[in-house]
Amino acid sequence: MTVSIRSEQPGDERAIRALTDAAFRDMPHADGDEGELIERLRVQGDLVLSLVACNSDKAIVGHISFSPVAIAGSEGKWYQLAPVSVIPSGQNSGIGSSLIEAGLDRLQGSGAAGILLVGDPDYYSRFGFTREHALTLSDALDPYLQMLQFEGDPPSGQITLAPAFG
Ligand SMILES: CC(C)(COP(=O)(O)OP(=O)(O)OC[C@H]1O[C@@H](n2cnc3c(N)ncnc32)[C@H](O)[C@@H]1OP(=O)(O)O)[C@@H](O)C(=O)NCCC(=O)NCCS
């Protein structure tokens, strides 16, 4: 499926919620909160970058969010990638990869020091994410915590996600 990527616009909110709920509905790792999470990020002013993928009919078929992350002792701008979703019927055709690459390009171009995420290393390593870092989030999530650094010294220590993540 050929898609175009653009920033979220007013009026996209319901489609983003519906596609996120649908994408995560049957995922074993999902907590069912992902669609609402994006709305909390938006309301709290932490939806730093929100991109949608549109098909040839201009329907939204994918979405990705980035929010700020605080790292104790680090002055660079770090962001968390989460969540990323593709409609079930469009998965495994490159849409998620296009969204991730577009988001990383934009944030690197805007001076971000790097991106963090919690996810499957088998998937995210293809974009350059690594578990080789000295950051911590929680005992349960640390095995899935990955980093992609654009510039600066490697950060270390405890990270704090946007309040929407609870
Ligand atoms: C994960 C997701 C965003 C990937 O987008 P996509 O457009 O389907 O993926 P792409 O076409 O870019 O890449 C396909 C690859 O992703 C892998 N993949 C798909 N979903 C995956 C998942 N949930 N976890 C790990 N890998 C996944 C496929 O196995 C495939 O791997 P291969 O290239 O080695 O064969 C999408 O499948 C999705 O919305 N899944 C449900 C929600 C979700 O799990 N989000 C991520 C939470 S960390």
pLDDT digits (tens, 9 = 90+) for 35-89: 999 999 999 999 999 999 999 999 999 999 999 999 988 889 999 999 999 999 9
Look at residue 66 and give its three-state secondary structure. strand
Q: Which residues of 90-105 are buried (b: 16+ CB within 10 A; e: fewer)?
A: beeebbbebbbebbbe
Across 72-133, where does the E strand assignment appear?
78-86, 114-118
Distance in angstroms (rounded) separating the CA atoms of residues 113 and 52: 23
Measure CA of the first residue to CA of the last residue in the chain; give whole Å.
35
Total tally of structural domains belonging to the chain:
1
**Using CA atoms in the order 115, 13, 84, 30, what is the torsion angle rounded to 10 degrees?**
120
**pLDDT score for 39:** 97
Q: Does pLDDT of 122 surpass 90? A: yes
Q: Is 146 in the pocket of ligand 1 (CB under 6 A)?
A: no
**pLDDT score for 111:** 97
Domain coverage including residue 62:
4-165
Residue nearest to atom 21 of ligand 1 (CA): 123
- The pTM for the full model equals 0.96
**pLDDT score for 77:** 96
Mean pLDDT of 21-39: 92
Choose one of 31, 52, 60, 86 to mutate for the ligand 1 pocket test, by most ligand atoms within 8 angstroms of C-beta.
86
Provide the CATH number for the domain around residue 20. Answer: 3.40.630.30
29 vs 63, which has greater pLDDT? 63
pLDDT band at 30 (very low <50, low <70, confident <90, very high): confident
Bridge partners for 71 per DSSP: 159
Distance in angstroms (rounded) separating the CA atoms of residues 116 and 134: 12
Query: What residue has token string 């994410």?
Result: 129
Look at residue 116 and give its three-state secondary structure. strand
